[in-house]
Amino acid sequence: MDIRTIGVIGAGTMGNGIAQVCATAGFPVVITDIAQAALDRAMKAIDTSLERMVNKQKMTAADKAATLARLTISTDMKALADCDLVIEAATENIGLKQKIFSSIDAVVKSDALIASNTSSISISKLAAATKRPSQFIGMHFFNPVPVMALVELIRGMQTSDETLAAVRAVVVKIGKAPIVVRNSPGFAVNRILVPMLNEACFALGEGVATPEDIDEGMKLGCNHPIGPLALCDMIGLDVMLDVMNVFYESFKDSKYRPAPLLVEMVEAGYLGRKTGRGFYTYDKK
Ligand code: NAD
């Protein structure tokens, strides 16, 4: 299927980034959200982001204007009726997403494809909430979307080869690199990244090295752009703990048990940058 028009459900952090990169690549994009305020904020955020590109001479003012002109916003899901591909990036809540997917069927064309940007919910389970499970796929973008090059394409058990091919073509057209991943907890990137970060917490808790030396070790020894403990602080220790708990419960394998130090830091309310204290301390301003 040839994708010409794209819809985005949810105008938050991820939704506005996804809308921006699709519109920049030339797709007409319809963004919907339940909150008009979120849509207004999204348009402002996209305008600011594009303006930054104009200032850096990565885009002309005319291209910026054309990109903005390709964007439409609405609080009514019916505005998605003509879209060939709808990418859902609403709040991470399974009940909410299942409700969106059961009502989207009645709105979009029968041959339209549906994708979810979920980070943690089973694509096979979400696909089952639609009447077109073979036309459903996971498109896992990374934050911030305009900067990050990767999109994980998650094949649910029901996803057809045609759906994968059409969505892969969209990812290439928006200038991102697709990787194909079978539906599985954490997909590929978080499945590997988060246990590595958890291991850094184990190492620190066992007194293997100081936080600074653990981070320096991984930066200089493995060429990581940021140390694992500093990255934990950026992600949020509560988010890290939730993901480890999902892995632990899903795989029933003790190798995914959360590090005791991570658990205790969350109990103490030391969640990282957002609370001003994690493995490092931050000035709240
Ligand atoms: P967010 O909270 O910034 O935005 C969610 C938006 O969804 C809000 O504007 C909210 O009003 C809207 N919304 C809620 N219910 C809705 C409905 N019924 N219809 C339409 N819109 C609705 O969240 P986010 O960080 O952008 O995350 C969105 C999705 O992307 C989640 O599934 C999340 O797991 C996934 N994700 C997030 C990141 C990240 O780093 N933030 C990375 C990859 C994937």
224 catalytic, yes or no? no
Q: Do 257 and 206 share a structural domain? A: yes
Are 98 and 226 in a shared domain? no
Residue 119 CB–ligand 1 contact under 6 Å: yes
Residue 268 lies in a domain: yes
- If one residue of 87, 91, 145 were mutated to test the ligand 1 pocket, choosing by the most ligand atoms within 8 A of its CB, it would be 91
Give the alpha-carbon dihedral of 128, 253, 225, 235, to 10 degrees: 60
Asked whether residue 282 is domain-assigned, the answer is: no
In Å, how far are 74, 86, 110, 223 from 31, measured between CA atoms? 6, 9, 20, 38
Cβ of 34 closer than 6 Å to ligand 1, yes or no, is yes
Same domain, 161 and 215: no
Q: Is residue 83 part of a domain?
A: yes
The CATH number of the domain holding residue 115 is: 3.40.50.720
| Total domains, the chain | 2
Tens of pLDDT, residue by residue, the chain (285 residues): 899 999 999 999 999 999 999 999 999 999 999 999 999 999 999 999 999 999 999 999 999 999 999 999 999 999 999 999 999 999 999 999 999 999 999 999 999 999 999 999 999 999 999 999 999 999 999 999 999 999 999 999 999 999 999 999 999 999 999 999 999 999 999 999 999 999 999 999 999 999 999 999 999 999 999 999 999 999 999 999 999 999 999 999 999 999 999 999 999 999 999 999 999 999 866
The last residue of a domain, from among 128, 160, 182:
182
119 is catalytic: yes
DSSP-derived secondary structure letter, 272: B
Whether 32 and 70 map to the same domain: the answer is yes
The ligand 1 atom at the shortest distance from the C-alpha of residue 90 is 7
* Closest residue by Cα to residue 32 from 13, 19, 17, 46: 19
Same-domain check for residues 83 and 152: yes
Same domain, 177 and 64: yes
Residues 149 and 229 grouped into a single domain? no
The verdict on residue 11 lying in a domain is yes
Active-site entry in 49, 116, 190, 198: 190
Determine, yes or no, domain membership for 118. Answer: yes
Q: Which ligand 1 atom sits nearest the alpha carbon of residue 9? A: 20
Burial of 275 (0-12, 13-18, 19+ CB in 10 A): middle
Judgement on whether residues 34 and 82 belong to the same structural domain of the protein: yes
In a domain, 44, yes or no: yes
Domain shared by 55 and 72, yes or no: yes
Residues 134, 267, single domain; the answer is: no
Distance 176 CA to ligand 1 centre (A): 20
Does the active-site annotation cover 140?
A: yes
Judge if pTM exceeds 0.85.
Answer: yes
Mutate to test the pocket of ligand 1, among 33, 121, 145 (most ligand atoms within 8 A of CB): 33
Of 182, 201, 235, the residue at which a domain comes to its end is: 182
Q: Is residue 223 part of a domain?
A: yes
If asked whether residues 176 and 212 sit together in one domain, one would say no
Q: Which of the listed residues 182, 213, 239 is the one where a domain comes to its end? A: 182
DSSP line for 150-208:
EEEEEEPTT--HHHHHHHHHHHHHTT-EEEEEES-TTTTHHHHHHHHHHHHHHHHHTTS
Q: Which residue has the tokens 């009514």?
A: 76
* Domain assignment of residue 283, yes or no: no
Q: Is 55 a catalytic residue?
A: no
Q: Which residue has the tokens 């028009």?
A: 5
Can you give the pLDDT at residue 285?
A: 66
In this structure, is the dihedral angle defined by the CA atoms of residues 53, 91, 179 and 242, taken in order, positive or negative?
A: positive
Structure tokens, 183: 């539906």
225 plus 202 within the same structural domain = yes
Residue 210 belongs to what domain range? 191-274
